[in-house]
Amino acid sequence: MSDDRIIDFNELKNKVKDSDVDKFEQYIYNLYFSVMDGSMTMAEFSRKILDYMKENNISQEKFMNIQKRFMERYGMDNEEVEKQLKNFGIDPSTVGFGNMDLNNITNENIENIQKTAGFYEKYGSKIQPKSCISTYVKNDTNDIDIIVDQEKVMLYSNKKINLMDAELNELLLAYKNMFNKKIRVVLCESSNEYDY
């Protein structure tokens, strides 16, 4: 018996039809407008998405496929959207859907989604995505983590920072020369760290 005659029911179950995308699109728009007019919170929005998946017996894999097709319909690149979310500090793999079994949703899963949505609902207007670079200087003189945010350079060390360090000055001068004007250097020395 040939393998090409074997039917993979999981593949059939997760296959996305245009009607699936149309239905999802209408549902998402209704939720979106409810959030925009203030009649629904982001936590409720997340819960409604889970309810939609459960009511329509949609696996996580099929849901991801529906989302991809939905975004493709509007010319969005899934990888670019994921990158933008990560720039906002949101890792889609950890927002609460992760490896969640939608047939066995626990109160803990729902609480995690509500916490995440609640955080962004409360502080979202204050959050600004940043595109920073980071580097370090580690030598006999200094042990510094450096975060560069456009014309602002932040130096972090749990020790006193020695500004006479040749390697540090070379790095700062090279970066300053990129702008042809002054840069702002912020010292965070003798800093403390703790787990919260």
- Express each pLDDT in 170-179 by its tens digit: 999 999 998 8
- Express each pLDDT in 60-113 by its tens digit: 777 878 888 877 777 777 676 666 656 655 555 554 444 444 445 556 666 666
Average pLDDT of every residue of the chain: 77
Handedness of CA 53, 55, 59, 64 (dihedral sign): negative
Higher pLDDT, 180 or 156: 156
Assess whether pLDDT exceeds 90 at residue 41.
no
41-50, 77-86, 122-131, 182-191: which has the highest mean pLDDT?
A: 182-191
Reading across the β-sheet that carries 133-138, which strands appear in turn?
133-138, 143-149, 152-156, 184-188
Confidence of residue 141 (pLDDT cuts 50, 70, 90): very high
Higher pLDDT, 54 or 186: 186
* pTM of the predicted protein model: 0.46
Neighbouring C-beta atoms of residue 168, cutoff 10 Å = 20
Assess whether pLDDT exceeds 60 at residue 53.
yes
